Amino acid sequence: MTKVITITSGKGGVGKTTTAINLGAALNYFGKDVIIVDANLTTPNIGLHLGAPIVPVSLNHVLSGKAKIADAIYEHESGTKIIPSSLSVKELRRINHSKLKEVSKKLRKIADFVIFDSAAGLGEEALAALESGDELIIVTNPEIPAVTDALKTSKVIEELGKEVKGVIITRFKGTKNDMPIANVRDMLELPILGVIPEDKNMSEALAMKDALIHTHPRSKAARAYKSVAAKLAGVNYKEPSLMERLLGK
């Protein structure tokens, strides 16, 4: 059964798109057929992150009725599939955001997992992505402003009659400036699906136009994303030890 997951956040800059890409890549790593959809139409980044900033057919064309969804799917060299949105401001015109639900229904037939990278905040674009997902995941940083915005987002999701699968905390440094994980959980009253540590390799992965789990698979952040993906996919995951890696296991 296909799972449609919307990755959302109360504010921008918390690592939402990075999370969508690396969760998708990690699910693909576990043998799942994955499609990552850039539902952030105003400021799309999926294509930029994965080396496809400009494509002949984008999600914008599909939502405006100019193309079929199958024509907007592109495959990254890793095997992960993406549906980018257009960088053109002109393509934002006459877009019917409510059609995102139709896109969701059609993609269910061709993938194990569909991941919507929503727009940040709670505008029309973001709400369309929230309504299109079966499982909603909130991304936040361990900081009061970000967690407060995440709380607002969870309340809006509740009003939509949806349920939050859980929270992924990104850019965790483990310093006294970070909110304790327990405090984040208590404030949001939601399960913590995973904690992604701050990782200097993230910027290098972006420059390489690939997911961190491909460019730096043994990094702490990559392992953390694999752990979350394993939970979502219902598979057992244990990172090989140094000795196992040396023996090629």
The pLDDT tens digits of the residues spanning 108-136 come to: 999 999 999 999 888 888 999 999 999 99
Neighbours of 231 (CB within 10 A): 14
pLDDT tens for each residue of 5-49: 999 998 888 999 999 999 999 999 999 999 999 999 888 899 989
The model's pLDDT over 46-103, given as tens digits with 9 standing for 90+, comes to 998 998 888 999 999 999 888 999 999 999 988 889 999 987 766 566 677 788 999 9
| Nearest CA among 18, 24, 79 for reference residue 48 | 18
User: What's the DSSP call for residue 175?
Assistant: S
Predicted TM-score (pTM) of the model is 0.91
As a whole number of angstroms, the distance between CA 129 and CA 122 comes to 10
- CA 15, distance to chain mean position in Å, is 9
Q: C-alpha angle 92/58/131, rounded to 5°?
A: 70
What is the set of domains in the chain, with CATH numbers?
A: 3-246 (3.40.50.300)
Question: In which element (H, E) is residue 244 found?
Answer: helix 242-246
